[in-house]
Amino acid sequence: MKRKWKVFLLLLALLALTAGACSRSASLAEGQNAPIEVAQVEVPLDDVVRPDADSKAAAQSVNIEPVEVVRSEPEPAVARTPAPDPKQAPKKDGEEEEDLKRDYSEFFKDPKKLGFSPGEHLFRNVYYHIKTSFVEEVEDKVLFEGVKAEVANLLEQAKVPTDGLKKLDSSKKVLPQLLSLYGDKVDKNLLVYSAILGMLQGLDDNYSVLMTPNDYGKLQEQMQAKEFGGIGIYIELDRENGNQLTVFEPIEGTPAYNAGLEAGDKILKIDGEDTKGITLDMAQAAIRGPEGSKVVLTIQRESGQKNFSIERGRIHVVSVSGKMLPNNIGYIRLRLFGQETSDELEQAMDKLRDQGARALILDLRNNGGGYIDASVGVVGNFIENDGLVVYTVDRNERRREYRSPTLGTAKLPMIVLINKFSASASEITAGALRDHKVATLVGEHSFGKGSVQQLYPFPDGSALKLTIAKFYTPGGNIIDKKGIEPDFKLEMEPRFVGRGEKDTQLKKAVEILESKLTSHASL
């Protein structure tokens, strides 16, 4: 039952992707090379490659989503093709829901006039990119079986006999066969998108997906660090407590932080509405609002319940924050690797230098990733000019290197903190700094997300995200599905990050650096 609902809801969401796909087929078929990447809710994100003005592809990666900032699943690095048609008007709130009610049969009325339907064009484009760009060569029969399995699931839900699937000929184009067999028995668009979903599931790769306009829009918002009206908290659904909506972390200096919200606070109600069964999207919509308006959160702590009436403000989610710890140990927290991360890191480093920092802690915990080039920029602060930061290998064993664009000037004893939610660009950064012998790693085994995705946008705002390569640390260590082992392993609940005495990993990092500073001073 759970799988049926999952597929049914996904197929409904994909209905909104049909319009506009037709006009994009030529440019998609030409295929540009700029990787980017994407993510969804539950853990950290991951790495993305995006194009810059002068090169075909620049590397990048992704991470936590400001939901009021939602934690997201680590995702693969991705590449991006040309931007969607600017003439295509963006959807307004509520339009996507209306799209689900449309009759899409009009797209199939006149095949001679339209050629292929938008859905068929999308199917062909997905197939084309899988066959030419997926990180591993895939036989048609594998995709064929994936299509059959997913279409069978759709037919079962629609209570349509599946016997006709036995007639499918794997040596012929599968979509025309499906439309001929079932086009008059189930919605044609559901049939087409079910076939697309089946192809992607046949890849057995969680990071190769067709993103809805809503999902792709959220990724862009997260990576571009846009401002919004809200209170400034990261939230999550605590799986160990019945998916209870929980404050993962308040952002320092925001209304939520100033009001006294704490990591681990359970949000029982939002403006009097029970949060039981709420999704992260629903919670985000309820908590955000116009600057100056108020939201009341009913919070459960060990000490009891308490209502917090918080005035919303303008929230700008910076990716970097820094402060000075005792004994002149500088501390910098990277929450994600976004477009402004490199510049923000340089500013934070300058401030710590001015304050006399003698050592540095770089905190990558709970950081799901982001742009690869942001990771390259971060590492560039600490290694030699043109030093290797990371390299990728594609299906044809072609190697692409990403090197430091600058000469690192930060020559301080350094600890990098990682945990099980440090993914993608975080792992690139941690791995590179250790391989170059400029940092010691403290914390937990990292997530293990080491793949690169190419992102192919469509005019309607949707996008295909496809894994095109694996990445390796400078020392040749593969990260994907293996992660990075810290030099000093110390397990800790992720919600204790930044919580004073409960943050035992940070305390350990400070102890190690104090010992190094003491030994250097005695020489």
- The yes-or-no answer on residue 435 being catalytic is yes
Q: What is the Cα 377 distance to its own chain's centre? A: 19
DSSP single-letter state for residue 426? H
- The yes-or-no answer on residue 306 being catalytic is no
Helix 188-201, helix 2-14: angle, nearest 10: 120
Catalytic residue among 265, 435, 460, 480: 435
Catalytic residue among 342, 424, 451, 462: 424
- The yes-or-no answer on residue 87 being catalytic is no
Task: Answer for the pair 212, 462: CB distance below 8 angstroms, yes or no.
Answer: yes
Question: Under DSSP, is residue 17 helix (H, G, I), strand (E, B) or coil?
Answer: helix
Question: Under DSSP, is residue 24 helix (H, G, I), strand (E, B) or coil?
Answer: helix
The rounded distance, in Å, linking the Cα atoms of 204 and 211 is 17
Catalytic residue among 148, 218, 449, 465: 449
Task: Answer for the pair 197, 451: CB distance below 8 angstroms, yes or no.
Answer: no
DSSP single-letter state for residue 499? -
Task: Answer for the pair 337, 319: CB distance below 8 angstroms, yes or no.
Answer: yes
DSSP single-letter state for residue 315? E
The rounded distance, in Å, linking the Cα atoms of 460 and 24 is 10
- Name the residue among 348, 506, 494, 495 with its Cα closest to residue 417: 506
Task: Answer for the pair 446, 427: CB distance below 8 angstroms, yes or no.
Answer: yes
Q: What backbone torsions phi and psi does residue 267 show, to the nearest 5 degrees?
A: -90, 105
Is the dihedral angle over the CA atoms 225, 40, 394, 441 positive or is it negative?
positive
Active site residues per annotation: 424, 435, 449
